[in-house]
Amino acid sequence: MIFGYARVSSADQNLDRQLKELKAFGCDKIFFDKMSGKDFSRPAYREMRSKMRFGDVLVVHDLSRFGRNKKEIRNEWKQMIDEEIDIVVLNMPILDTRKYKELEGVGQLVSDLVLTLLSWMVEEERNRIRTAQREGIEIAKENGVFKGGKKRYHVGAKGKDKVIYQEAVRLLMQGESVMNIHRSTGLARNTIYSIKREIEQG
């Protein structure tokens, strides 16, 4: 079976381009998450992996959709290769393990070389963004203009943000756990805790 996997980092980002490419490739089943790629503890990804068997194929648009942490990416990749599950990265044709079936050792060599380079690039980009954000905040603080992050999900939210906020409030009032609300709405757990505090202080 050919499995497709798509991921964006937050609930308000669009998956359409990734899903279109995975469908065009001919994936039999597509899974997607709307959450950070810092590790592989993502509900849809874990569900997909539980269904994958010897001879299956995993297709992703690019390596950063697969994950964001160099060590995690390499460990997950190796585990799937050991289980004889093939991997195809659409925007990097050299990362198609199906091509190397008849060339013993070559597939692993290519995967090792390219993965080392690309996973390093993914992690470096992540670190660069974090550093830029920290520096921007420090500069803003020095200039007296840093106000902290602007809240998206609050009583006066509009449109889709309001719907998500109201759903989080409804689930909290029903006694749902923060983790279940996170999985249901895609909201960050810190955001849910913030909403919960507002309700309790309310």
What confidence tens digit (pLDDT) does each residue in 46-94 have?
999 999 999 999 999 987 787 767 777 778 888 888 898 999 989 888 7
Residues 33 and 107 reside in one and the same domain:
yes
Question: Cβ atoms within 10 A of the Cβ of 84, count?
Answer: 11
Enclosing H/E stretch for 59: strand 57-60
How far apart CA 183 and CA 186 sit, in angstroms, is 6
Give the model confidence (pLDDT) of 31-48 as tens digits: 999 888 777 888 999 999
Report if residue 148 sits inside a domain: no
CB 41 within 8 A of CB 15: no
Residues 25 and 91 reside in one and the same domain:
yes
Residue 9 annotated in active site: yes
> 92 φ, ψ to 5°?
-140, 80
Structural domain containing residue 70: 2-122
Q: What is the structure's pLDDT at 153? A: 80
For the record, the structure tokens of 145 come out as 């203009």
Residues 23 and 93 reside in one and the same domain:
yes
> To 10 degrees, the CA torsion angle through 30, 89, 95, 73?
-80
How far apart CA 95 and CA 115 sit, in angstroms, is 8
Which range, 4-8, 132-136, 182-186, 187-191, has the best average confidence (pLDDT)?
Answer: 4-8
Active-site residue, selected from the candidate residues 9, 36, 41, 177: 9
Domain end among 122, 145, 175 = 122
pTM above 0.85, yes or no: no
Question: Cβ atoms within 10 A of the Cβ of 35, count?
Answer: 20
